[in-house]
A = this chain, B = another copy of it.
């Protein structure tokens, strides 16, 4: 079934998700299209959050922002509905996770603004196309993610440390991995760090703060990219009345071709 789904159109996949026929993680679906993370906030917080994203583009690359009250991401996926087209959502009230849901229509308000944020799936495809291994995919795990000591640039109530994802890369391919991903600033861009984890405040690669630990083989170097978990962590820290996000790994398939995000 997986190979067929990887070849489906974004619209077809979204329809299956909307009907509840796909309920799991979206990795590998409609493989050549960009997937998006979600943060929904009240309009009153939208300027500060957009400014946070503008000031921290590596962890927070914005693909689309919905009009207040509209569930349609008119630029990234004009036929989609952000209330139903992610397989799973998380609802947080005052910074506390209160519910997971497959459909947030009952919670939708006229002053909600949805932010679609680029995802590393897009550049992982580019790495694979260049024969650079992506370990967590090979091992069937979630990518390991770590809190760093790198400060984000604050905006209004939003501030915090950058979260990074890590992929072990054979030493001889590390420069190529940096080159390949630098082409994609709209989906986190080039790495923020190569090598020594302590250099960015990570004490133990075997104990990621999110996701799963992966094998780092002899002759491989850890390569760290800014991660889309950063904006979610920062929003939680600000503890707004209500914020809705996607559940990790359960993304929206956009109509944007990964390759169209390359700047050269």
Q: Does A153 contact B (CB under 8 A)?
A: yes
Q: Which residues of B contact A51 (CB under 8 A)?
A: 50, 65
Interface string of A44-62 (1 = CB under 8 A from B): 0011001101110000001
| This protein's copies in its complex | 2
Instruction: Name A43's closest neighbour in chain B (CB-CB).
Output: B47
Given A182-B264, A264-B182: A54 touches B55 (CB 8 Å cut-off): no
A75 touches B263 (CB 8 A): no
Instruction: Name A46's closest neighbour in chain B (CB-CB).
Output: B47
A179 touches B264 (CB 8 A): yes
Complex Cα–Cα for A182 and B183 (A): 10
Complex Cα–Cα for A251 and B153 (A): 24
Q: Which residues of B contact A183 (CB under 8 A)?
A: 264
Residues of chain A in range 164-184 having any CB-CB distance to chain B below 8 Å: 179, 182-183
Q: Which residues of B contact A189 (CB under 8 A)?
A: 263
Q: Which residues of B contact A53 (CB under 8 A)?
A: 54
Interface string of A134-168 (1 = CB under 8 A from B): 00000000000000000001000000000000000
Instruction: Name A182's closest neighbour in chain B (CB-CB).
Output: B264
A75 touches B50 (CB 8 A): no
Which A residues fall within an 8 A CB radius of B? 46-47, 50-51, 53-55, 62, 65, 75, 153, 179, 182-183, 185, 189-190, 263-264
Provide a sorted-by-A list of 24 A–B residue pairs whose CB atoms are within 8 angstroms: A46-B47, A47-B47, A47-B50, A50-B50, A50-B51, A50-B54, A51-B65, A53-B54, A54-B54, A54-B62, A54-B65, A55-B65, A55-B75, A75-B153, A179-B264, A182-B263, A182-B264, A183-B264, A185-B185, A185-B263, A189-B263, A190-B263, A190-B264, A263-B263
